Amino acid sequence: MSTVFVFNGPNLNLLGTRRPDVYGTTVLADVETLCREETTRQGLDLDFRQTNHEGVLVDWIHEAGAAVKQGTALGAVLNAAAYTHTSVALHDAIEGAELPTIEVHISNVHGREEFRHHSFVSPVAAGIVVGFGVTGYALAIDGLVRLRRPTRSV
């Protein structure tokens, strides 16, 4: 069975308590459950992770890229959080690992502070899901599947 990686960046461990007016009250464990339900529905395995450390995300991207090349993974859903707006390293890792990636954001970053309007991830992402709350994770997984399994009707 093929795996979908879901990587979460800094402060997402605080989901449900940090800025519930922006990010809602759902906790990260519930997001993992949502993702597991979607991957199970799609006949896939899930590898769900969160870190506050940029270098760890880079290592995970390399790992996922290798798994895609080995044929054991479809790609990744990435909520890079604040690193979206600051990390050339994540951009270069996704590009270098040739990792099919769907960028996801819980809030509509384009309706927020101007510094959140720029993403270093977007230019190397296969797709972007923004502003659908935590439901965006399931949408991103479905989008990844549709992009990576072209025989499935869109």
Selecting among 23, 83, 91, 137, the annotated active-site residue is 23
Query: Any known ligand binding at 118?
Result: no
Ordered by start, the domain boundaries in the chain are: 3-107+120-148
Q: Catalytic annotation on 53?
A: no
Instruction: Specify whether domain 3-107+120-148 bears CATH 3.40.50.9100.
Output: yes
Query: Any known ligand binding at 85?
Result: yes
Q: In the chain, which ranges are E strands?
A: 3-8, 45-50, 73-79, 101-105, 127-130
Q: Hey, what are 48's tokens? A: 């769900």
Query: Residue 24: which pLDDT band, with cuts at 50, 70 and 90?
Result: low
Q: What confidence tens digit (pLDDT) does each residue in 91-103 have?
A: 999 999 999 999 9
Selecting among 83, 91, 105, 137, the annotated active-site residue is 105
Q: Hey, what are 132's tokens? A: 């659908």
